[in-house]
Amino acid sequence: GAGVSQSPSNKVTEKGKDVELRCDPISGHTALYWYRQSLGQGLEFLIYFQGNSAPDKSGLPSDRFSAERTGGSVSTLTIQRTQQEDSAVYLCASSLVGGYTQYFGPGTRLTVL
Amino acid sequence: TQLLEQSPQFLSIQEGENLTVYCNSSSVFSSLQWYRQEPGEGPVLLVTVVTGGEVKKLKRLTFQFGDARKDSSLHITAAQTGDTGLYLCAGAGEDYKLSFGAGTTVTVRA
């Protein structure tokens, strides 16, 4: 498809387990962003990748969160030892370059029991 | 604390009525964006306003950026059921990061 895709669309896990969320950005987009959206809250910035530059990880809430972007394309957000407060919708967006219009994927709804 | 405050949080109106959503901040932004998000989908960009005092119209939607570039409003004329959704404003600073408001849930009843 032409848009940003994310998988899985829904993920239910038990507290303490690790999860991996995947994002496929729009082809040719060099910038990729991860956000978290909790109920009643706006989107919270997590991490930003731009080309081969070091990622901006300033929004990651704890060291249990990490992300990679392989080959400048697909990105994986990993949450280790999940906690109930990690339950949220995780959104990925990409843009041609940083600062340009961001196009969002449908998100992954994570539920930690 | 949200950098951008949106009001109201919820809005329910009858089809054909008008509505206004507000987005306020104490910070100055280089640009401000409005998104609409439907259940199970990611936000979709509606408009970007850049210049203080700017007014943009997209069919029945009118967007305004405050003179001081700290606030914005979205006005919908003669709302339709298809306008139902979560409306988010987001401010861009001098870097690439967007700061989002908590959103306004708009429900248009037939």
Cα distance from A15 to chain B (closest Cα, Å)? 24
For residue A94, how far is the Cα from the chain centroid? 10
Q: Indicate whether B1 pLDDT > 70.
A: no
Query: For A38-60, what is the mean pLDDT?
Result: 89
Q: Which chain A residues in 6-65 lie under 8 Å from chain B, judged by CB atoms?
A: 9, 31, 35, 40-45, 48, 50, 56
Q: By the 8 A CB rule, do A6 and A75 touch?
A: no
Summarised one tens digit per residue, pLDDT across range A4-15 is: 999 999 999 999
Q: Indicate whether A28 pLDDT > 60.
A: yes
Instruction: Tell me how far apart the alpha carbons of residues A85 and A88 are, in angstroms, rounded to a whole number.
Output: 8
Total residues belonging to chain A: 113
- Answer whether A93 sits within 8 Å of B41, measured CB to CB: no
pLDDT mean across residues, chain B: 92
Instruction: Tell me how far apart the alpha carbons of residues A96 and A32 are, in angstroms, rounded to a whole number.
Output: 9
Summarised one tens digit per residue, pLDDT across range A90-99 is: 999 999 887 7
Residue B93: closest CA among chain A residues belongs to which residue? A99
Nearest partner of B41 among A87, A29, A110, A9, judged by Cα:
A9
A105 touches chain B (CB under 8 A): yes
Q: Measured between CB atoms, which of B44, B48, B101 is closest to A42?
A: B101
Which domains, and CATH codes, for chain B? Answer: 5-109 (2.60.40.10)
Confidence of residue B9 (pLDDT cuts 50, 70, 90): very high
Report CA dihedral (A35, B1, B86, B65) to the nearest 10 degrees. -100
| Cβ neighbour number for residue A80 with a 10 Å cutoff | 14
Which domains, and CATH codes, for chain A? Answer: 12-101 (2.60.40.10)
DSSP string, A17-70: --EEEEEEPPTT--EEEEEEE-TTS-EEEEEEEETTSPPB-TT--STTEEEEEG
A72 touches chain B (CB under 8 A): no
Question: Judging by DSSP bridges, how do beta strands A10-13 and A108-112 pair with one another?
Answer: parallel
Cα distance from A49 to chain B (closest Cα, Å)? 11
Of residues A2 and B33, more confidence is placed in B33
